[in-house]
Structure 1
Amino acid sequence: MRILHTSDWHIGRTFHGHSTLEALRGVLEALVAQVREHEVDVVVVAGDVFDSATPAAPAYTLLTDTLVALHDTGATVIVTSGNHDSAARLGFQARLLRDGIHVVTDPMSIGTPITIDDADGPVHFFGIPYLEPAIVRQHWPEDAHGRPLRSQAQTMAHAMDLVRAGMTAHDGRSVAIAHCFAAGVDATAGLEREVRQGGLDVVPSEVFDGPDYVALGHIHGRQKVSDRVRYAGAPLHYSFGEQHKERGSWLVDLDASGLAGIEWLTLPIPRALVTLTGALDDILSAENIAAHADDWVCAVYTDALPQAEPMRRLKEHFPYCAMVQHDPAVVEGNEERSYAARLKTAVTDTERIEAFLEHVRAGLGPSEQESRLIREVLDERVVAEALV
C-alpha cells in the first residue's frame, strides 16, 4: 500500500496581511498531481486543515475542491482535526461525505480504525483528532492507571493506549495519525502554538510505539522522530522563520510485513522567502534588488538610528516586502531590551504571562498557586473557544 502523508494546510491563513489562498490552491493542485503520478492508495492529512475555528467561505471551497480532486485520483482520503481546527465545524458533514473520504474529529472513535485492504491484507488507520485535555477530560477523567489526564502529553499517551488496544483487536498492519508536539523536534518560534504549555505537553517518542507508521502534524517543517514516526510539515511557507524549510510530503510504502520504504516528495514554492540584514542602503543595493525583486522580503536594517519611511523605500524596489525590523548593530543593555528578548522567545501563552510577571516584579515569577490559576484560566479559554 502506498500512503501520502501531508498536514498543516492552514487554509485561510494570511501572510503578513496577504491572502495565501490562491498560492495554497496551486500547491495543493501539485500535491494532487503527485498522488496521481505515484498511484497513491491513501492520502493522510494530519490536522490543521483550516487556520481558524471559524473559516471563511472561500476556505471551505478550497477544501472541498481539493478533497474531490484527491478522491478522483482513486485514493482514499483520511483527515483528522488539529488545534487550529474547530472539530465540530470540520466534522459536521462527515457522514455526508462520499465513500473514500473520512474526516475524524470524535475522540471517542480513536480505538476504532478505518480499515483499507490491499493485496497483502488489511491496513488499519487510527485517526487521533487534536486532544485538548480541558475538553476531553469529560470523556477520560483518568488513564488506565488511575492518574488524572492534566497535560496534552498524558492525554496523547492515553489515546495511543487506545490505538494499541485497537491493534490487538484487529489483525494486520496499522497507521496512526496525530497532531501534537513530539519530544526532540525543532519548532518555529512563535508559530506552532497552543499545543505546548511549558515542557509538560511534549510527547515522549516512546508513546508512539506500536504502529507500522505514525503520521504527525503540527510542526511546519519536515522532521523525523524515528524511521517510522515523522512530520511532513506545511505545504506552504507561513512565516519567515520557515524560509529555509523544504515544503513537501512523505510517500510511505507498506508491504506485507509493515514499513517498506519512505520517500520525500518536494512541493513547489510559489514565491521564495528571504531575510536581508544590514544597513538600509546595503539592503537596497542593486545586487539585492536584482536577486530578490520577486521574493517575499523581510528587511532587518542595522543602522544605529531609525530611518525615515523604511517600508516605503523598500517597497519601491521590493514589491513583496512584507516585513521590516530595526535591529541596531550596537544596543545598550537594559531591562526593556531583556523583557523584549524574553517575549520574543516565549512560545506559549503561559510563557508570555510568566515573562510579564518577571518583568513587573523585578525577576520574581509566578508562585505555584498563581501558575495553577493561570493554567486553569487558559484551559477555560480553550474550552470557550472550542464551543464557539
Structure 2
Amino acid sequence: MGAVRFLHTSDWHVGRTFHGADLLAEQDAVLAHLAELVSAEAVDVVLVSGDIYDRAVPSAEAVQIANKAMLRLRQAGARLVLTSGNHDSAPRLGAFGDFAAAGGLHLRTTIDRIDDPVLFEDEHGAVAVYGIPYLEPEPARHALGVPDAKGHNGVLREAMRRIRADLSRREGARSVVLAHAFVTGGQGTDSERTIAVGGVEQVGAEVFDGVDYVALGHLHGPQTLAEHLRYSGSPVAYSFSEAQQRKSVWLVDVDGNGLAGVRRHELPVPRTLAKLRGYLEELIEAPEHEDLVESYLSVTLTDSVRPVDAMRKLRQRFPYAVHLDWQPENGNTTANLRYAEAVSGRSDTEIARNFLDDCRGAPPSESEQKLLRRALETAGRGES
C-alpha cells in the first residue's frame, strides 16, 4: 500500500550562538544529515514548523546556511513546507513564496493562507498540508475576524476551525498541520523564548483534533503528546538543560487510511554538552575528564576562595568551556545584605575590603589593601 512519507523537523534557529560560541558549523552539519536521511528513507516532504532563523533579521552567514540546507533537501528528492515561528520575521521568510513554490519550497507565513493547503498526491488521492505560522494573539485575533478570542488558545481555535472547514470540502483527503505553539502537556527547556501573553501561553491539545498528524514546533525537546501530536524539537541543543536530550526528527507515513506510522530518527551530535563541578586545579588535572575536552562545558567551581582568572585556566584544558559559576563548599558567597546595612557606619576602605571578601570568599591581602588605600587616596576618598 502506497504512502506519503514526511520528515518532521523544526526550530533550526540558524544563527543562534551558545554562550557566545558560534554554532553555524554544527548547524550546517546536522542539517546536511537531514538531506542524507531524506535520500536514505525516500522522504517525499520535509516539514519545518517554524523558527528557521534565530532572529527576525538573520545574518548573511545564517541565511547562507539555511538556504544551503533547503537546497540539499530539495536535491535529495523532497519537497518542503515551512512556516514562520516566533523568532522569524514572517514577511522576510515568506518573500518570493509563490516563486519558491515552483521549485518545491512552499512557505506558509501569512494568516490569509492558513486554510490554503499544499496538496500532495498519491494513489489514494490528496494529502492536504496546512501551515499555521506563529500567531501573535493581539494582531491575529483582529486579522482572523475574532476580536473576542482570548490568547493563543483563542486564535489557534479559529485557525483550526478554518482548516477543518476547508478539509470538509475535500472528500477523502488526508491532512497534516504545522503549528508553532506551546501545547499543554509539553515540556519546555531554558532555550525557548516565552510567548506568554497575559500569563497564558499554552494551548489545549484538543484544539488540533480532526486531522491525521500535527507537526508541532516551538519546544526544543522531542516529545509525543498523542500519537498524532508531536514536537520534533530542535536539531541542536541550545541550553545546558538539553544536555541529556537525544535530538531527533520524526519520519511520518500517511497512507490511504490516514496516519500509518511514526518513527523516531536520532540526529548526530556535533559537540556534546556536559557539566563539571569541583575544585579548579582538580578539574584541570583529573584524567577522568579527558573525554570532555571537546565538549561544551558548564563548570561550577567549589573552591573556598574564588579562583583568579579561572576561565582562562579552564580553557587551557577545556577549550569549549563556555559557562562558569562559583559555589564554594563552605557556602561563603556574597552576603545577603541590603545595601544600607552593608555600608552603614563603615569607611570607604572597609566597604572596599568587604566587597572583595564577599565576591571571592577571602579578604584582600596586605599588598591588595595598600593598592585599595592608594586608589581611594587618588580619588580623594582617602582616610588621613
Note whether the superposition's TM-score is higher than 0.5: yes
Q: Structure 1 residues 33, 150: CA separation in 2 closer, same or farther (over 3 Å shift)?
A: same
Q: Percent identity?
A: 39
Q: Is the 8 A contact 2:53 2:88 kept in 1?
A: yes
| 1:159 alignment partner AA | A
Tell me whether 115-124 or 162-171 shows the greater mean CA deviation: 162-171
1:56 aligns with 2:63: no
Q: Is the 8 A contact 2:327 2:333 kept in 1?
A: no
1:115 aligns with 2:116: no
1:186 aligns with 2:190: no
Q: Is the 8 A contact 1:46 1:82 kept in 2?
A: yes
Provide the aligned C-alpha RMSD in A: 1.9
| 2:132 alignment partner AA | I
What stretches of structure 2 of length at least 5 have no aligned partner?
Answer: 338-384
Tell me whether 75-84 or 57-66 shows the greater mean CA deviation: 57-66
Cα distance in 2 between the residues matched to 1:327 and 1:130: 40
Aligned-residue offset at 1:43:
0.4
Cα distance in 2 between the residues matched to 1:246 and 1:309: 34
Aligned to 1:93: 96
State the SS of the aligned residue for 2:202. Answer: coil
State the SS of the aligned residue for 2:298. Answer: strand
C-alpha deviations, 1:119-165, integer Å up to 9, x for none? 221100010000001222331352xxxx6124122211221111111
Q: Structure 1 residues 333, 300: CA separation in 2 closer, same or farther (over 3 Å shift)?
A: closer
Aligned-residue offset at 1:270:
0.6
| 1:84 alignment partner AA | H
Q: Is the 8 A contact 1:273 1:296 kept in 2?
A: yes
What stretches of structure 1 of length at least 5 have no aligned partner?
Answer: 338-388
Cα distance in 2 between the residues matched to 1:234 and 1:157: 25
Q: Is the 8 A contact 1:219 1:233 kept in 2?
A: yes
Instruction: Pick the aligned partner of 2:76 from 70, 73, 78.
Output: 73
Aligned to 1:221: 221
Q: Structure 1 residues 162, 330: CA separation in 2 closer, same or farther (over 3 Å shift)?
A: farther
Cα distance in 2 between the residues matched to 1:107 and 1:307: 55
Instruction: Pick the aligned partner of 1:135 from 126, 132, 139.
Output: 139
Q: Is the 8 A contact 1:253 1:259 kept in 2?
A: yes
C-alpha deviations, 1:174-228, integer Å up to 9, x for none? 0000001011111113x21132346522011111111100000011110111111
State the SS of the aligned residue for 1:137. Answer: helix
Aligned to 1:102: 106
| 1:3 alignment partner AA | F
State the SS of the aligned residue for 2:183. Answer: coil
Q: Is the 8 A contact 1:140 1:149 kept in 2?
A: no
How many residues are matched? 332
Aligned to 1:342: none
State the SS of the aligned residue for 1:206. Answer: helix
Q: Is the 8 A contact 1:283 1:299 kept in 2?
A: no
1:238-249 to 2 correspondences below 5 Å: 238-249=238-249
Aligned to 1:348: none
Larger Rg: 2
Cα distance in 2 between the residues matched to 1:138 and 1:249: 35
Q: Structure 1 residues 278, 157: CA separation in 2 closer, same or farther (over 3 Å shift)?
A: farther
Q: Is the 8 A contact 2:192 2:218 kept in 1?
A: yes
Cα distance in 1 between the residues matched to 2:225 and 2:134: 19
| 2:46 alignment partner AA | V
| 1:139 alignment partner AA | A
Q: Is the 8 A contact 1:141 1:149 kept in 2?
A: no
Cα distance in 2 between the residues matched to 1:213 and 1:152: 20
Q: Is the 8 A contact 2:111 2:144 kept in 1?
A: no
Q: Is the 8 A contact 1:181 1:196 kept in 2?
A: no
Cα distance in 2 between the residues matched to 1:242 and 1:194: 17
What TM-score comes out, normalization by structure 1 length?
0.81
